[in-house]
């Protein structure tokens, strides 16, 4: 056992394979009762040593048969969920780099305590790993201030404010866990990546981190205030049946969860206009002051090393099987209304055909959708920031064994390799793969991520030299044949020139 003194009181962790592990440390007060929908408040201090041997509650989760088995969590749920976990090589004042993981899951599912996010593999490389929970769905991303005359002052960004509070806890306490509060890297995937760019756009988070990794979450689909009200808050209150603040605060957790528009149903909808109507951060000009691309372009984060990447086949789906040419044109027009859908299709047909990639309608649509939702907005973040700090780009092209490989290098296939948890359970092995090649890729990926956290440069012996992303668009391809390529998928990227990022939402 290992005891560490935090600002709130002493905590007792466990030793495990040479690492010290602390679970379920409260970084804020339980956001329940009168604190529901309020900004996070400091935790109540304690004097007796508190056991940090079991994970804290996870945030209330959406339930859906569409959730992949590898992402399911069997842990107690409660609105009392603001806990974090620390895995460290030693509580010895070692001033090690700190990596703070923000989980994904569409802001509706997930937790920092999933097996998939076990920090041991990264911590064994000499960093301190922190994983966090934050409020989600009905309690973390619903803007109610206008609809309750300010009596419930929620901005729709309470979940991101939770993340900032966790970073404040890291700043104030991580030295006692062997970490360096002056060298903190935030990283996250999907909604976690969107959270990272939200924190980059949040004045309250300035100075709380020093490097950032955005995995498959460029943040261009955040809501405006009007969208947050029309798509989420108003439908939730209509489903609940009242706008009365006292009734809302007194409602059972399950009632509020059932009232908020469902994430998985929206995300699975083929209509792009509906697919993004799920609760997520709000560009309100106050807590989150603007869209990430112009904020990075303004030099707000000058000197900050930034890594941004995607998987190769983010939006791949077997549901597109049998798509015809006429359907393809109609679907692409719905992706980019007001722009030349046929020109996009032909550019993709030419670029993919040149490298012998499939050019059937389903493959073309999935590739165009991947670029729109992930690929092009991600490279534009790098283009915006590269005049102000070192930037690095990757494309993860390891093919998932799920569905016999039919989904390709699908959304989320990088996670198991970033943590080295690709085969920690049969379900994760089914999503990520197992065997010597998978093990080697996990080791190389973890080496690169921890090198970036340590120095701001992800170059390593195992993955290789990784030059910054600049005029040549140097990109690390991470997969069976890992290595740097200049301007990969350039024909596809250039096809979006002239289409604003705001038109890719």
At residue 344, what are phi and psi to the nearest 5 degrees? -60, -45
Structural contact between residues 180 and 98, judged by C-beta atoms closer than 8 angstroms: yes
Please give the average per-residue pLDDT across 436-449, as a whole number: 98
By DSSP bridging, strand 474-478 and strand 96-102 are unpaired
Three-state DSSP state, 202:
coil
Please give the average per-residue pLDDT across 346-368, as a whole number: 95
| Residues 6+ positions from 304 with CB-CB distance below 8 Å | 210, 211, 212, 385, 388, 389
Please give the average per-residue pLDDT across 160-181, as a whole number: 98
Structural contact between residues 255 and 350, judged by C-beta atoms closer than 8 angstroms: no
Lowest-confidence pick of 11-15, 205-209, 259-263: 259-263
pLDDT value at 318 more than 70: no
For the CA atoms of 492, 196, 112, 414, the dihedral, rounded to the nearest 10 degrees, stands at 20
66 class by beta-carbon count within 10 Å (0-12 exposed, 13-18 middle, 19+ buried): exposed
Q: Tokens 């603040």 belong to which residue?
A: 245
Q: How many CB atoms lie within 10 A of CB 88?
A: 28
Predicted pLDDT of residue 382: 98
By DSSP bridging, strand 2-5 and strand 10-16 are antiparallel
Q: What is the DSSP letter of 69?
A: G
Structural contact between residues 307 and 458, judged by C-beta atoms closer than 8 angstroms: yes
Predicted pLDDT of residue 324: 83
**Proportion of the chain above pLDDT 90, given as a percent:** 91
Tell me, yes or no, if the pTM score tops 0.85.
yes
Please give the Cα distance from 425 to 422 (Å, whole number).
8
Predicted pLDDT of residue 323: 81
Residues in the chain: 505
Would you list the DSSP string of 50-61? EE--SPPPBPP-
Predicted pLDDT of residue 321: 66
Q: Tokens 């065997």 belong to which residue?
A: 435
Q: At what angle do helices 341-354 and 361-370 cross, to 10 degrees?
A: 100
How remote is the C-alpha of 29 from its chain's centroid?
24
Looking at the DSSP assignment, which residues form a beta bridge with residue 2? Answer: 13
| Residues 6+ positions from 202 with CB-CB distance below 8 Å | 157, 160, 164, 287, 288, 289
Please give the Cα distance from 454 to 448 (Å, whole number).
10
Looking at the DSSP assignment, which residues form a beta bridge with residue 215? Answer: 189, 309
Please give the average per-residue pLDDT across 217-238, as a whole number: 97
Local confidence band at 317 (pLDDT 50, 70, 90 cut-offs): low
**491 token code pair:** 């024909």
Please give the average per-residue pLDDT across 206-214, as a whole number: 98
**428 token code pair:** 């994760």
Predicted pLDDT of residue 273: 82
How far are the Cα atoms of 193, 202, 221, 272 from residue 281, in angstroms, in the given order?
12, 11, 9, 18
Alpha helix segments (H runs only) across 314-468: 325-335, 341-354, 361-370, 376-385, 415-418, 426-432, 436-455
At residue 338, what are phi and psi to the nearest 5 degrees? 90, -5
**441 token code pair:** 């890729």
Whether the CA torsion 18, 119, 69, 236 is positive or negative: it is positive
Contacts 24+ apart (CB under 8 A), 238-246: 243/147, 243/148, 245/148, 245/151, 245/152
Three-state DSSP state, 412:
coil
| CATH numeric code, 1-290 | 3.40.50.1820
pLDDT in tens, 236-271: 999 999 999 999 999 999 999 999 999 988 888 888
Local confidence band at 183 (pLDDT 50, 70, 90 cut-offs): very high
Three-state DSSP state, 163:
helix
Catalytic positions are 190, 314, 411
At residue 80, what are phi and psi to the nearest 5 degrees? -80, 85
Burial 230-260 (b: 16+ CB within 10 A, else e): ebbbeebbeebeebebeebbebeeeebbebb
Please give the average per-residue pLDDT across 379-399, as a whole number: 98
Nearest to 341 by CA among 495, 145, 142: 495
**447 token code pair:** 């080496």
Please give the average per-residue pLDDT across 147-176, as a whole number: 98
Please give the Cα distance from 211 to 209 (Å, whole number).
6
Please give the average per-residue pLDDT across 332-340, as a whole number: 93
Burial 166-197 (b: 16+ CB within 10 A, else e): bbbbbbebbbbbbbbbebbbbbbbbbbbbbbb
């Amino acid at each position: 056992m290992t005891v560490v003194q935090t600002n709130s009181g002493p905590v007792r962790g466990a030793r495990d394979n040479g690492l010290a592990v602390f679970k379920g440390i409260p970084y804020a007060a339980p956001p329940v009762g009168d604190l529901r929908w309020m900004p996070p408040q400091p935790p109540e201090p304690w004097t007796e040593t508190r056991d940090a041997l079991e994970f804290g509650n996870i945030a209330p989760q959406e339930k859906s048969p569409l959730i992949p088995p590898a992402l399911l969590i069997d842990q107690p749920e409660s609105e009392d969920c603001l806990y974090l976990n620390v895995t460290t090589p030693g509580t010895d004042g070692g001033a090690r780099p700190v990596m703070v993981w923000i989980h994904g899951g569409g802001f509706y599912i997930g937790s920092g305590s999933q097996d998939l996010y076990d920090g041991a593999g990264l911590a064994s490389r000499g960093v301190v790993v922190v994983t966090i929970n934050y409020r989600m769905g009905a309690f973390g991303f619903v803007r109610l201030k206008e609809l309750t005359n300010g009596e419930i002052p929620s901005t729709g960004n309470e979940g991101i404010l939770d993340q900032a509070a966790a970073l404040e806890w890291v700043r104030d306490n991580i030295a006692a866990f062997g970490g360096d509060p002056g060298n903190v890297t935030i990283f996250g995937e999907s909604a976690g990546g969107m959270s990272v760019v939200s924190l980059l756009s949040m004045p309250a988070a300035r100075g709380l981190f020093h490097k950032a990794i955005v995995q498959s979450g460029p943040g261009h689909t955040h809501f405006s205030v009007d969208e947050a009200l029309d798509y989420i808050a108003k439908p939730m209150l209509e489903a609940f049946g009242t706008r009365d603040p006292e009734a809302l605060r007194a409602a059972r957790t399950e009632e509020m969860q059932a009232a908020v528009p469902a994430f998985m149903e929206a995300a699975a909808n083929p209509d792009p206009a509906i697919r993004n109507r799920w609760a997520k951060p709000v560009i309100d000009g106050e807590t989150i002051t603007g869209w990430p691309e112009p904020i990075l372009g303004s030099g707000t984060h000058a000197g900050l090393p930034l890594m941004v990447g995607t998987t190769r086949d983010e939006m791949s789906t077997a549901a597109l099987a049998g798509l015809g040419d006429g359907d393809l044109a109609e679907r692409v027009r719905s992706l980019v209304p007001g722009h030349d859908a046929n020109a996009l299709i032909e550019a993709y047909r030419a670029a993919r055909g040149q490298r012998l990639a499939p050019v059937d309608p389903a493959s073309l649509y999935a590739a165009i959708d991947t670029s729109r939702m992930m690929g092009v907005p991600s490279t534009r973040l790098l283009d915006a920031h590269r005049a102000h700090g070192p930037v690095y780009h990757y494309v993860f092209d390891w093919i998932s064994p799920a569905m016999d490989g039919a989904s390709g290098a699908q959304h989320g296939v990088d996670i198991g390799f970033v943590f080295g948890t690709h085969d920690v359970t049969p379900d994760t092995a089914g999503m990520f793969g197992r065997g010597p090649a998978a093990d080697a890729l996990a080791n190389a990926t973890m080496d690169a991520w921890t090198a970036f956290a340590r120095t701001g440069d992800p170059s390593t012996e195992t993955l290789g030299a990784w030059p910054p992303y600049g005029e040549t668009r140097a990109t690390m391809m991470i997969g069976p044949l890992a290595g740097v390529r200049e301007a990969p998928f350039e024909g596809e990227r250039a096809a979006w020139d002239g289409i604003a990022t705001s038109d890719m939402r």
